[in-house]
């Protein structure tokens, strides 16, 4: 699309993939952070460009967070998407399901540790188990690529500085969610995360009042809000003396 637009000298907006970080610091409201983490990873069964995919958790709360996160991911109800109590529905297409499973298997083969899930659910529908991976090598697909299904990659970090370093170690830069009540950390995350959108103590979401879009391989330009409207027009200067 960008090539076609470029050949015609037309403006374009590209909203591509994402591998959004979800950062949890010691000062965060723990219960809200962990419950939102599960929701953010599994919304639309993980098939969302702005779903949290990499969870960077401070060492002081890592063990507690991981225990709760794995337990809640494992307990999610899988079933018919027309049932209002269903929390994990099937993936959209078989090739997406196969791709997710391949990414998980290659990540485990590279050295990642599987804590729950890791299998497709056979039967009617393209279901995949909610999955949590830790100890991910840098060369593994779950570290480097976007996983478009209910698969979470969890990292232990020393502090905010290391969280920012790992969050930015990605070709993507769509959205980021950072959980902290420390004003200095909030400022650091807002200014230093290489992301088109940063949400502090909230899940990344699309709001028609706000510009939406990413940086790096997540695309360019903005949708929504005043900035989004201006992406689709050419400003015209008129000078009358």
| DSSP secondary structure of 16-84 | ----EEEEE-TTS-HHHHHHHHHHHHHGGGG--TTSEEEEEEEHHHHHHHHHHHHHHHHTPPB--TTST
Residue 140 confidence (pLDDT):
96
Q: Indicate if 146 belongs to the active site.
A: no
What is the Cα 162 distance to its own chain's centre? Answer: 18
The size of the chain, in residues, is 241
Catalytic residue among 8, 49, 87, 231: 49
Place of tokens 């969610």: 177
Give this prediction's pTM.
Answer: 0.93
Torsion angle defined by CA atoms of residues 31, 37, 40 and 41, in that order, rounded to the nearest 10 degrees? -150
Q: How far apart are CA 120 and CA 138, in angstroms?
A: 24
Residue-level pLDDT at 99: 96
- Please confirm, yes or no, whether 187 is among the known catalytic residues: no
**pLDDT, block means (10 residues), the chain with 241 residues:** 91 92 98 97 95 97 98 95 93 96 97 95 91 97 96 98 97 97 97 97 95 94 91 91 94
| Nearest residue to 58 (alpha-carbon basis) of 18, 38, 28 | 28
User: Which residue among 8, 15, 223, 231 is the active-site one?
Assistant: 15
Domains and CATH numbers, the chain: 15-204+217-230 (3.40.309.10)
């Amino acid at each position: 699309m960008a090539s076609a637009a470029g050949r015609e000298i037309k403006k374009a907006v590209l909203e591509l993939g994402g591998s959004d970080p979800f950062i949890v610091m010691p000062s965060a409201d723990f219960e809200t952070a962990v419950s939102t983490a599960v929701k953010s990873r599994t919304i639309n069964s993980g098939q969302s460009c702005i779903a949290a995919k990499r969870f960077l958790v401070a060492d002081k709360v890592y063990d507690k967070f991981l225990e709760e996160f794995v337990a809640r991911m494992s307990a999610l109800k899988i079933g018919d998407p027309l049932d209002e109590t269903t929390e994990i529905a099937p993936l959209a297409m078989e090739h997406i399901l196969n791709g997710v499973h391949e990414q998980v298997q290659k990540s485990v083969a590279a050295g990642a540790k599987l804590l729950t899930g890791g299998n497709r659910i056979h039967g009617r529908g393209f279901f995949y188990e909610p999955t949590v991976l830790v100890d991910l090598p840098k060369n593994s697909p779950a570290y480097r690529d976007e996983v478009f299904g209910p698969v979470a990659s969890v990292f232990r970090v020393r502090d905010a500085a290391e969280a920012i370093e790992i969050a930015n170690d990605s070709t993507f830069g769509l959205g980021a969610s950072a959980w902290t009540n420390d004003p200095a950390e909030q400022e650091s995350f807002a200014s230093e995360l290489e992301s088109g959108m940063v949400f502090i103590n909230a899940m990344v979401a699309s709001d028609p009042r706000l510009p939406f879009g990413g940086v790096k391989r997540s695309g360019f330009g903005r949708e929504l809000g005043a900035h989004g409207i201006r992406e689709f027009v050419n400003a015209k200067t008129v000078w009358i003396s």
